[in-house]
């Protein structure tokens, strides 16, 4: 795994600048570095390498035969050997054994159509010295990141935002629009970022810069086409076959590969292909609800893997919040990202590559909330007018069992579901924000995604939305940043083109039904592991934030932050403290909302303080 960066146009000290841009992402590639600086000052490209394949010969940049094209690449291509053979048959010759060179020679042969042939995760840049064009692409699901900005006459890009911040002509400005969507979703909704003028290239997209004109195009989209003729057994067979093939492809490496392991079915399923290899788990000392280590240890013993684990102390967790938010680039209020940092750190002490279970929930229907479509189906047979009337009656009432059912039953999927995290609605944002005019209903942001899938069933609509928002802005962002912060490559075999070709055909009732979520996928997993693991309910990555925020020590840390000058710049501090106090006193479980605001303020002080901090001192 690696990091790339660069900029177009001549600028004083361009060599020093691109070196600095690469230096701040050394954690992505501590093994070596490489640069291409055009003699005419047209472009400066930087690269940091974490060597995984062709350890001796895989140095970048990579050039084509006549050195008219140059590539820097972050990621892995799992079908590179097959593509290499095809390209050799077409007359190409190779001077390395890397997957990187296959991309470049494939681009030379097929242009942007090479993207249709790649199987893997990637963010890469190709510069063509003949027509002075720059081609940048991001993988299908957005496993690997690409950020970019137009800064005056310069186009600047990087695997992480912090590279772009090192470009001297970029002026750091806070993007208030993103604060609005962050407060609803708990992450910055792509393609916007918290930095004015800096964007993330969306998954399945490429951009081309030529003659000063920037064009961005989508080349792939995760669309569903359920095959209702599939039986349970047929669906299970297809999933088992394609997933086994995907795991084997993702294990290709010239260094040792390990596996993350929780108590859930996703990582457990992956780990069953790791006999005699290493697995890694972390947990908290707050009882079984917040500690999956015992489950992981027991499964590891059953399947014969070398299991490593760590219990994260409260002091360690809170002591690393700033470091984690620095590496995230943008605030992410998902507390599991900090736990992920620790499991990545643990794994990096033993291996260079790990496999993990991200993507299974989005592709195969794993989130419990997806079953709401089924649970509301009977109630929603009542006339809409009656359901709206009943919702209006109960809305002003105090909370009671069934109230939420009546309220949500009066709404369409598009109205009630904005993704797996829903923090603040418009009215709540207007109440806590100093400038309430920036507040919008979160449904305004999700509408463009729902509009693309009007004919899908409710469950599939929710999956499509999560694939394009939650998975990109939360799940894959933290997976990339937390693994790379520890110079560890993280691979996700569920998020594979071939796996999705099967997932898209699974009928909704075989994804989510009364028996379970991820129903067909669990049946496939059951063939490889004990029933208790294959059927275990979805937990996520449990972190005891609600417990900590009732502890006076951590309550006071957050309260001090809520009453700071930074907080008063954006928020009505009294309202923030009331949220915190109501949680501390047991009136409401406001832990997720409190955490969302707190993490933003921690992040803001890091990136908009007087100067960017030295990460070694965080």
- The per-residue pLDDT for range 522-577, each reduced to its tens digit, is 999 999 988 876 666 666 678 999 999 999 999 999 999 999 999 999 999 999 99
Q: Is residue 388 part of a domain?
A: yes
* Those residues with Cβ within 8 angstroms of residue 97's Cβ, 6 or more apart along the chain or in another chain: 53, 54, 57, 58
Q: Is residue 588 part of a domain?
A: yes
**How many CB atoms sit inside 10 A of residue 204's CB?**
19
Lookup: tokens for 55: 């350890």
Q: Please report the pLDDT score of residue 585 as a whole number.
A: 96
Picking from 381, 378, 384, 411, the residue whose alpha carbon sits closest to that of residue 395 is 411
Q: Is residue 435 part of a domain?
A: yes
Measured CA to CA in angstroms, residue 224 lies from 185, 243, 424, 507, 556 at distances of: 24, 18, 30, 10, 48
Q: Please report the pLDDT score of residue 18 as a whole number.
A: 97
Picking from 282, 281, 140, 155, the residue whose alpha carbon sits closest to that of residue 222 is 140
Same domain (yes/no): 65, 84: yes
Q: Please report the pLDDT score of residue 286 as a whole number.
A: 76
Q: Is residue 74 part of a domain?
A: yes
Same domain (yes/no): 176, 299: no
Q: Please report the pLDDT score of residue 287 as a whole number.
A: 64
Same domain (yes/no): 77, 102: yes
Q: Please report the pLDDT score of residue 531 as a whole number.
A: 80
Is position 337 annotated as part of the catalytic site? no
Residue 313 CA to its chain's centroid (Å): 25
- The per-residue pLDDT for range 34-64, each reduced to its tens digit, is 999 998 889 999 999 887 766 666 789 999 9
- Provide mean pLDDT across the span 338-350: 97
**How many CB atoms sit inside 10 A of residue 536's CB?**
18
Q: Is residue 348 part of a domain?
A: yes
Rounded-to-integer distance, Cα 88 and Cα 434, Å: 62
- The per-residue pLDDT for range 263-314, each reduced to its tens digit, is 788 999 999 998 878 999 999 987 667 777 888 888 888 888 889 999 999 9
* Number of folded domains that form the chain: 4
Measured CA to CA in angstroms, residue 175 lies from 167, 195, 196, 325 at distances of: 18, 5, 5, 17
Same domain (yes/no): 392, 479: no
Rounded-to-integer distance, Cα 422 and Cα 332, Å: 13
| Residue 251 contacts residue 519 (beta carbons within 8 Å) | no
This prediction has a pTM of 0.95
Same domain (yes/no): 334, 378: no
Reduce the secondary structure of 106-164 to three states and give it as a string.
HHHHHHHHHHHHCCEEEEEEEEECCCCEEEEEECCCCCCCCEEEEECCEEEEECCHHHH
Q: Please report the pLDDT score of residue 39 as a whole number.
A: 83
Same domain (yes/no): 250, 395: no
Q: Is residue 573 part of a domain?
A: yes
Q: Please report the pLDDT score of residue 443 as a whole number.
A: 97
**DSSP annotation string for 567-592:** HHHHB-HHHHHHHHHHHHTTS---HH
**Token pair 């409260």: residue:** 314
Q: Is residue 140 part of a domain?
A: yes
Same domain (yes/no): 276, 298: yes
Same domain (yes/no): 243, 109: no
Strands of the sheet with 154-158, listed across from one edge: 32-37, 43-49, 2-8, 154-158, 147-151, 198-200
**Token pair 């005891």: residue:** 544
Same domain (yes/no): 158, 195: yes
Rounded-to-integer distance, Cα 300 and Cα 304, Å: 6
Q: Please report the pLDDT score of residue 275 as a whole number.
A: 80
- The per-residue pLDDT for range 571-611, each reduced to its tens digit, is 999 999 999 999 999 999 999 999 999 999 999 999 998 77
Same domain (yes/no): 373, 362: no
Q: Please report the pLDDT score of residue 539 as a whole number.
A: 61
Q: Is residue 223 part of a domain?
A: no
Name the burial class of residue 425, with classes exposed (0-12), middle (13-18) and buried (19+) by CB atoms within 10 angstroms of its CB. Answer: middle
Same domain (yes/no): 287, 360: yes
- Provide mean pLDDT across the span 365-394: 94
Confidence of residue 108 (pLDDT cuts 50, 70, 90): very high
Q: For position 35, which CATH number holds?
A: 3.60.20.10
- The per-residue pLDDT for range 425-440, each reduced to its tens digit, is 999 999 999 999 999 9
**Token pair 């990187």: residue:** 100
Which residue range is the domain that position 15 belongs to?
2-218
- Provide mean pLDDT across the span 132-146: 98
CA atoms 23, 26, 31, 34: torsion sign = negative
Same domain (yes/no): 75, 209: yes
DSSP code for 615: G
- The per-residue pLDDT for range 494-527, each reduced to its tens digit, is 999 999 999 999 999 999 999 999 999 999 999 9
Q: What is the b/e burial string over 209-230, where b = at least 16 CB atoms within 10 angstroms of the residue's CB?
A: beeeeeeeeeebebebebeeeb
């Amino acid at each position: 795994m690696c990091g790339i960066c660069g900029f177009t146009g001549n600028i004083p000290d361009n060599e020093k600048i691109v070196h600095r841009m690469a230096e701040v992402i050394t954690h992505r590639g501590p093994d070596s570095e490489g640069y291409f600086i055009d003699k005419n000052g047209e472009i400066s490209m930087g690269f940091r390498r974490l060597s995984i394949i062709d350890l001796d010969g895989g140095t970048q940049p990579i050039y084509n035969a006549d050195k008219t094209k140059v590539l820097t690449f972050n990621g892995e291509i799992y079908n590179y050997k097959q593509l290499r053979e095809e390209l050799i048959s077409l007359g190409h010759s190779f001077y390395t054994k890397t997957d990187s060179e296959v991309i470049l020679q494939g681009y030379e042969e097929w242009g942007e159509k090479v993207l249709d042939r790649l199987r893997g995760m990637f963010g890469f840049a190709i510069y063509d010295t003949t027509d002075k064009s720059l081609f940048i692409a991001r993988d299908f699901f957005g496993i690997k990141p690409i950020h970019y900005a137009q800064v005056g006459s310069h186009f600047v890009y990087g695997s992480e935002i912090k590279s772009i911040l090192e470009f001297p002509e970029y002026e750091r400005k806070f993007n208030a629009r993103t604060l609005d969507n962050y407060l609803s979703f708990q992450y910055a909704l792509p393609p916007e970022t918290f930095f004015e003028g800096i964007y993330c290239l969306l998954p399945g997209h490429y951009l081309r810069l030529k003659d000063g004109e920037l064009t961005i195009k989508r080349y792939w989209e995760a669309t569903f086409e359920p095959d209702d003729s599939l039986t349970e057994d047929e669906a299970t067979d297809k999933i088992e076959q394609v997933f086994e093939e995907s795991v084997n492809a993702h294990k290709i490496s010239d260094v040792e590969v390990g596996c993350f392991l929780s108590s859930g079915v996703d990582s457990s399923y992956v780990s069953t292909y790791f006999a005699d290899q290493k697995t890694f788990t972390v947990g908290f000392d707050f009882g079984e609800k917040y500690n999956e280590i015992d489950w992981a240890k027991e499964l590891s013993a059953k399947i014969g893997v070398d299991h490593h684990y760590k219990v994260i102390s409260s002091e360690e967790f809170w002591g690393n919040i700033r470091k984690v938010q620095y590496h995230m680039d943008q605030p992410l209020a998902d507390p599991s990202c900090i736990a992920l940092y620790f499991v990545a750190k643990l794994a990096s002490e033993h291996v260079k590559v790990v496999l993990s279970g991200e993507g299974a929930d989005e592709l195969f229907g794993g989130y419990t909330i997806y079953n709401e479509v089924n649970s509301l189906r009977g109630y929603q047979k009542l006339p809409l007018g009656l359901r709206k009337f009943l919702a209006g009656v109960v809305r002003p009432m105090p909370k009671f069992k069934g109230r939420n059912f009546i309220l949500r039953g009066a709404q369409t999927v598009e109205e009630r579901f904005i993704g797996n995290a829903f923090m603040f609605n418009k009215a709540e944002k207007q109440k806590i924000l100093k400038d309430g005019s920036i507040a919008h209903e979160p449904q305004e942001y999700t509408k463009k995604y729902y509009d693309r899938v009007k004919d899908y069933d409710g469950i599939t609509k929710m999956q499509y939305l999560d694939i394009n928002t939650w998975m990109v802005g939360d799940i894959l962002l933290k997976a990339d940043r937390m693994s790379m912060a520890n110079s560890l490559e993280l691979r996700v075999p569920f998020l594979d083109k071939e796996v999705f070709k099967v997932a898209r055909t699974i009928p909704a009732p075989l994804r989510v039904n009364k028996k379970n979520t991820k129903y067909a996928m669990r049946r496939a997993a059951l063939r490889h592991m004990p029933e208790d693991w294959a059927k275990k309910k979805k937990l996520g990555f449990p972190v005891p934030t609600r417990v900590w925020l009732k502890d006076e020590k951590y309550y006071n840390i957050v309260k001090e932050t809520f009453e700071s000058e930074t907080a008063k710049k954006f928020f009505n501090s009294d309202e923030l403290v009331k949220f915190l106090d109501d949680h501390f006193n047991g009136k409401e479980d406001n832990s997720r909302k409190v955490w969302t605001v707190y993490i933003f303020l921690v992040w803001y002080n890091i990136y908009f303080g007087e100067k960017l901090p030295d990460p070694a001192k965080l």
